[in-house]
Amino acid sequence: MTETSPGPLKHTPLHALHRELGARLVPFAGYEMPVQYPTGILAEHAQTRTAAGLFDVSHMGQVRLTAKPGHNAAKALETLVPGDISGLLPGQQRYTQLTNETGGILDDLMVTSTGDHLLLVLNAACKDADLAHVQKHLAATCEIEPMFSRGLMAVQGPQAAQALARLAPSVATMKFMTGAFVMIDGAQCYVTRSGYTGGDGYEISTPAEATEAVARKLLAQPEVKPIGLGARDSLRLEAGLCLYGHDIDTTTTPIEAGLLWSIGKERRVQGGFPGAAVIQKQIAEGASRKRVGLLPEGKAIAREGAEIAIGGKIVGKVTSGGFSPTLGRAIAMGYVERAHSATGTKVDLLVRGKPAPAEIAPMPFVKHAYYRG
């Protein structure tokens, strides 16, 4: 979990609150972030799956793009990502990736259209490089406004809607992957119905100075408890969602990662994004390797870096692995050669040098529960 970068650790607007709540704070992507609160990761995970959890994700990079006169921000952004951004109606949100010239992934991100602007949410560890990349390529066509000091919180779980709707009734009817400006506790926030747990929930972008008050309002709801990065990781792994720098990076393409669904149908044909030639060839012919789910038979946990073998021959590598609190068993994901990627294929995961039998399994491991109206 720990990712370090040089220099003193930065704080989010909720740092003092984390301390007050007894969080264990660790360095993560240059920030001091809560990995867990006193109840522990298993309890926090269960809380999020059965009620609602509040996550501080203010370390992520929020950037606003606005078209310069005579230009179109969505068209401009499409030169950097394979997603269908032009097709976003005001209030719609989409998941996409910043790609490089070889079709690798520089970062994965959420893009929401407000009608007047595009709002991007970038990974914390990538946000400075992403911003420089966007500035380099889009400065002529877009106003690029980093909003790195804003707060960003996720409230996730089956009771997230009832809890947040008590503070802002309009969120109740929002659908998955839509966004809206919403007043919460007197502050103008931008709320999207999205998240990183596979469950229902919202992400709430707040003015920095209003973040702690909104967080306290949310934590005052009986359904909501604070959740750290530890459970955030186990929740997203159960949901089969990629973690940048682990399951996807500059050496993996969206096709290898199983993210074809996030590439617009027209864009698959027309290209016009970095690495389009590589990605289009993989769409047509298939990639040589694929991201797959892995279910170990036993209890040993195969973690990132564990090799995947068939009959003693290495055919891939685990990129994320851990314990699924919901299923009460070990789960993992990784890349295998395409010839061995079919569901049900028996493999061995090499855990501390010993083969642990496992089977290639469909993802998500825990069914998604998005609210689609």
Stretch that binds another protein, among 195-203, 210-218, 229-237, 257-265 (CB under 8 A): 229-237
268 in contact with another protein (CB under 8 A): no
Residue with tokens 């399951």: 247
Query: For the purposes of burial, counting CB atoms within 10 Å of the CB of 220, is it exposed (0-12), middle (13-18) or buried (19 or more)?
Result: exposed
* Whole-number Å distance between alpha carbons of 57 and 153: 5
Options 61, 195, 274, 322; binder of another protein; rule CB under 8 A: 322
Nearest approach in angstroms of CB 42 to another protein is 4
Question: 177 or 231: whose CB is closer to another protein?
Answer: 231
Question: 354 or 372: whose CB is closer to another protein?
Answer: 354
Options 352, 353, 372, 373; binder of another protein; rule CB under 8 A: 352
Question: 130 or 238: whose CB is closer to another protein?
Answer: 238
234 in contact with another protein (CB under 8 A): yes
* Whole-number Å distance between alpha carbons of 183 and 169: 10
Nearest approach in angstroms of CB 317 to another protein is 17
Query: Half-sphere exposure of residue 312, counting CA atoms within 13 Å on the CB side?
Result: 0
Nearest approach in angstroms of CB 313 to another protein is 25
Stretch that binds another protein, among 39-47, 123-131, 259-267, 338-346 (CB under 8 A): 39-47
Stretch that binds another protein, among 40-48, 92-100, 144-152, 340-348 (CB under 8 A): 40-48
Q: Provide the 10 A C-beta neighbour count for residue 322.
A: 19
Nearest approach in angstroms of CB 231 to another protein is 8
Nearest approach in angstroms of CB 198 to another protein is 17
- 218: which 2 tokens? 């949310």
Task: Dump the DSSP string for 169-208.
Answer: GGGGGPPTTBEEEEEETTEEEEEES--SSSSSEEEEEE-G
Question: 323 or 370: whose CB is closer to another protein?
Answer: 323
Question: 13 or 228: whose CB is closer to another protein?
Answer: 228
Residue with tokens 């606005």: 66
Options 121, 330, 333, 347; binder of another protein; rule CB under 8 A: 330
Stretch that binds another protein, among 101-109, 216-224, 271-279, 322-330 (CB under 8 A): 322-330
CA–CA distance from 324 to each of 41, 123, 329, 343 (Å)?
11, 24, 5, 19
301 in contact with another protein (CB under 8 A): yes
Q: Provide the 10 A C-beta neighbour count for residue 315.
A: 21
CA–CA distance from 69 to each of 7, 66, 72, 73, 142 (Å)?
39, 9, 8, 10, 9
Nearest approach in angstroms of CB 233 to another protein is 8
Question: 128 or 304: whose CB is closer to another protein?
Answer: 304
Nearest approach in angstroms of CB 300 to another protein is 7
Residues 6+ apart with CB under 8 A from 360: 292, 293, 294, 336, 340, 341, 342, 343, 344, 345, 347
Residues 6+ apart with CB under 8 A from 43: none
334 in contact with another protein (CB under 8 A): no
Strand partners, 95: 110
* Whole-number Å distance between alpha carbons of 326 and 15: 29
Q: Which of residues 42-71 bind another protein (CB under 8 A)?
A: 42-43, 45
Residue among 297, 365, 288, 309 at smallest CA distance from 333: 365
Question: 198 or 230: whose CB is closer to another protein?
Answer: 230
Residues 6+ apart with CB under 8 A from 176: 193, 194, 200, 370, 371, 372
240 in contact with another protein (CB under 8 A): no
Nearest approach in angstroms of CB 318 to another protein is 13
Provide the binding-site residues for another protein, judged by CB under 8 A: 1, 35-36, 40-43, 45, 230-231, 233-234, 299-301, 303, 322-323, 325, 330, 352
